Amino acid sequence: MRQVIEAAARQLAPLCGETCKTGLILGSGLGGYAEKLSDPRTLDYADIPGFPRSHVEGHKGRFVVGERFGKTVICMQGRFHYYEGYKQDQLALSVRVMRRLGVEKLLLTNAAGGVNLSFKPGDLMLISDHINFSGSNPLMGPNDDSFGPRFPDMGNVYDKTLREQVKQTAAEKGIALQEGVYMMFTGPSFETPAEIVMARTLGASAVGMSTVPEAIAARHCGIKTVGISLITNMAAGVLDQTLTHEEVQFAAAQASERFTRLVDGMLERVF
């Protein structure tokens, strides 16, 4: 893992220049934000020896580095997933590469199913905390002390100060913003109605198949993190309808304008 991280950082460093303190990981249907960056420089995951690849429709599978509001930003345009067969330490690779490049603040985004009955498709949810129901953890195995301690505290994974700034930014821009707990299931099957009842009972507001390993890795290596879920559908059992990935992509496209305005505000004022 260390060799892959160092090799990726060496390849990306010339694209990032001297100062690259902001990272974005763009989830299903949200990768279009990378096209907003000026002077884009790209590196496909496939061109990094030993690096995982994204095989999910809607995930382009590359790093994009560019400028926005006078800041150099590095984006993952598409992520890897546990259900693709990767181990969770592999899911954390991109976060650790960003840390090597000097990233200090990270925005994690995802498409999620709404569990909170007051939510509706198209809502944006600020992640206040998460429940790791995947049965694994990206920090399992030997600890790399150069990134962080063996037993990192998880009391402030989604940085409280940054969350307050995001809420203020959303309010100033007139963007409705929900807030809640994200629960990670392994996928690739969508959750059953009984599992959604369990998730709601445990305190989850939304469910999905990503984000948590990256958030844990970011906390481990000292990157301040904010998470935004786009509620693309109501989870199983809430509405009498079949869930599909196409529905997720359609809802993401419909919400792209509000999502872009919110992320712009975050880059301009928070990051």
Considering the candidates 8, 92, 111, 234, report the single residue annotated as catalytic: 111
CATH of the domain at 205: 3.40.50.1580
Confidence of residue 254 (pLDDT cuts 50, 70, 90): confident
Q: Is 256 exposed, middle or buried (0-12, 13-18, 19+ CB in 10 A)?
A: middle
Q: Please tell me the number of Cα atoms within 13 Å of 232 on its side-chain side.
A: 26
Write out pLDDT tens, residues 87-114: 999 999 999 999 999 999 999 999 899 9
**Catalytic annotation present for 143:** no
* pTM greater than 0.75 (yes/no): yes
Query: Out of 15-24, 107-116, 122-131, 247-256, which region has the weakest mean confidence (pLDDT)?
Result: 247-256
**Catalytic annotation present for 84:** yes
Write out pLDDT tens, residues 157-201: 999 999 999 999 999 999 999 999 999 999 999 999 999 999 999
**Catalytic annotation present for 82:** no
**Catalytic annotation present for 234:** no
Considering the candidates 206, 209, 218, 236, report the single residue annotated as catalytic: 209
Whether cis (ω within 30° of 0) applies to the bond prior to 14 is: no
- What would the two tokens of residue 12 be? 């990306």
Domain housing 170? 2-269
Q: What is the pLDDT of residue 235?
A: 72
How many percent of the chain have pLDDT more than 70?
94
Write out pLDDT tens, residues 194-244: 999 999 999 999 999 999 999 999 999 999 999 999 998 877 656 566 667
Domain count across the chain: 1
Confidence of residue 58 (pLDDT cuts 50, 70, 90): low
**Catalytic annotation present for 245:** yes
What's the rounded Cα separation, in Å, for the pair 220 and 223? 8
**Catalytic annotation present for 28:** yes
Considering the candidates 233, 234, 236, 266, report the single residue annotated as catalytic: 233
**Catalytic annotation present for 233:** yes
| Overall average pLDDT of the 119-130 stretch | 95
